[in-house]
Amino acid sequence: MPVKHNPTGEVHKGQKGGTTGCGVNTSLHSDHWSNSSGAITCDKNGCKN
Ligand SMILES: [Zn+2]
């Protein structure tokens, strides 16, 4: 399931409470993140591929 970074609107691979494909720990600012059904928009390695 993709996870959305609310302040930027960017959608990353991963899930809330885990680490995104590009290596961001979503548990550090858990209120910034929400599970999403949208397409991944992050273009960093690990999310895009
Ligand atoms: Zn990402």
For ligand 1, the distance from its centroid to the CA atom of residue 6, given in whole angstroms, is 13
Whose CA is closest to 5, among 46, 48, 20, 45? Answer: 20
- Given pLDDT bands bounded at 50, 70 and 90, which one contains residue 28? very high
For ligand 1, the distance from its centroid to the CA atom of residue 31, given in whole angstroms, is 17
For ligand 1, the distance from its centroid to the CA atom of residue 44, given in whole angstroms, is 5
Mean pLDDT computed over 9-25: 97
> Does 49 score more than 80 pLDDT?
no
From CA 18, how far away is CA 36, in angstroms rounded?
14
Query: How is the chain split into domains, by residue range?
Result: 1-49
Tell me, what's the pLDDT at 23?
97
Tell me, what's the pLDDT at 9?
97
Helices (H) and strands (E) in the chain, counts: 0, 3
For ligand 1, the distance from its centroid to the CA atom of residue 40, given in whole angstroms, is 8
